[in-house]
Amino acid sequence: MIKCIYCLKEKEEEVFNQEHVIPKMLGRFDECILEKLVCAKCNNKFSKLETLLQEDSMEGLYSAIYRIVDRSHVRLRLNNLKIKVVGDFLGNVFEKIFPQAILPSGKIQPRSMLLINNKQTGFNIFWLDKLNSINPLSKRGRKIVKFIVGLEKKGLHCIVDQSDFTLEQAYKIISDYGVNFQERKRESFDELYKEDEKPIFQFKITETVPQNSFVPRIIAKTAFNYFSFNAIKSNLAEVLYYNNFDDIRNFILNGEGNEKNNLCFPLKQPILHEERQEGQNYFGHTLTFEANNTHVIAKVSLFGMRAFRINLGQYPFRFLSDKFGGGHFFNPLPGNKYITELSPIKYKLLKSENQYGLYRR
């Protein structure tokens, strides 16, 4: 029997899954996985929260724009998330095309897509290169066909990069997936992709984030996962079951107690020393934990956007050590993915070999 670190229930070994420290939609870091510590029931709860993060948060939007996980379909619900294009270029271009960008330039990259945009279903973007690589009659293909056919077809746009497909090829692909596309109007987006100009596609994002919503719960889960991973590396897994961490567990699982106990809230300053010194954010995920006099405090920033402070619980050991704590920076960009350890005092980026554990070396 194994005890789950979240629900604290003992269950058979076969009902335990792998739990990624950082949700996979934010970049797949297979080096940091909790093995047989989180039961399937808790994992299913987390999957629902992560779907909301993927489809209705700034983090999900950035993951889609920068192709952190290159899926055949991107969905944005736009219930909590509001996007407004800056300037009058091509009207509200975001209603007609979903951007794919590359770093560090931020240039918009051409990509052929079927975009279905309406109030009932939000944004649904299907990449034509991905659809073309899948047989519509296969099990996966039939699932996509069923999903597309079930969508209301208002706000339908087909964007074609003609270096990839002709218009006829593009229409054939989406026809195979159950869309009878009737062209009414054609316009060019060539100005978006000029090589000699700075990126002109800019937008403002506003988001409603209640204290008990899915965003701070996922942030808190990521922090507790990271702390748990380091505890395992120190052979101190037993501390994860202490009642010191019951409040954060309850908040992550049930969304309760954040306002009363001030468990997870935004920070005004970035976490990394380099970000504070240079006045700009680093594109990546920063995770740290340390002890104040009485509690274990974690800090999390995803994609270098907003930072959170998380009160994980009372310090679990008898004596306070000045070596307790750790931090890492995770770069999620495909083709340049890496993890860098942080120095203990100001959280500077290090180039040394990564080490994990509850105590700094």
Weakest mean pLDDT among 52-66, 77-91, 114-128, 309-323: 77-91
What the block records as the tokens of 163 is: 């270096």
State yes or no: pLDDT of 51 exceeds 80.
yes
The DSSP bridge pattern shows strands 113-118 and 156-159 to be antiparallel
Percent of the chain with pLDDT over 70: 86
Q: How many angstroms separate the CA atoms of 316 and 314, rounded?
A: 6
Name the packing angle between helices 214-233 and 246-254 (round to 10°).
140
Q: Which residues contact 16 (CB under 8 A, 6 or more apart)?
A: 2, 4, 36, 37, 38, 39, 40
Question: Where do the domains of the chain lie?
Answer: 1-55+211-361, 71-206
State yes or no: pLDDT of 200 exceeds 50.
no
Q: Could you tell me the pLDDT band of residue 109, with boundaries at 50, 70 and 90?
A: confident
Percent of the chain with pLDDT over 90: 49
- Mean pLDDT value across the chain: 86
Over residues 278-284, mean pLDDT: 89
DSSP string of 197-222, one letter each residue:
S-----EEEEE---TTSHHHHHHHHH
Over residues 9-33, mean pLDDT: 92
Per DSSP, 33 falls in state: E
Residue 285 host element (H or E): strand 285-291
**pLDDT for position 89:** 45
**pLDDT for position 95:** 66
* b/e 204-221 (16+ beta carbons within 10 angstroms → b): eeebebebbbbbbbbbbb
CB 69 within 8 A of CB 63: yes
**pLDDT for position 219:** 96
What the block records as the tokens of 247 is: 């409040």
Which tops the pLDDT comparison, 63 or 212?
63
**pLDDT for position 104:** 62
SS3 260: helix
State yes or no: pLDDT of 336 exceeds 90.
no
State yes or no: pLDDT of 154 exceeds 80.
no
CA angle 74, 80, 85 (to 5 degrees): 70
State yes or no: pLDDT of 88 exceeds 50.
no
Over residues 8-27, mean pLDDT: 92
**Radius of gyration, alpha carbons of the chain:** 22
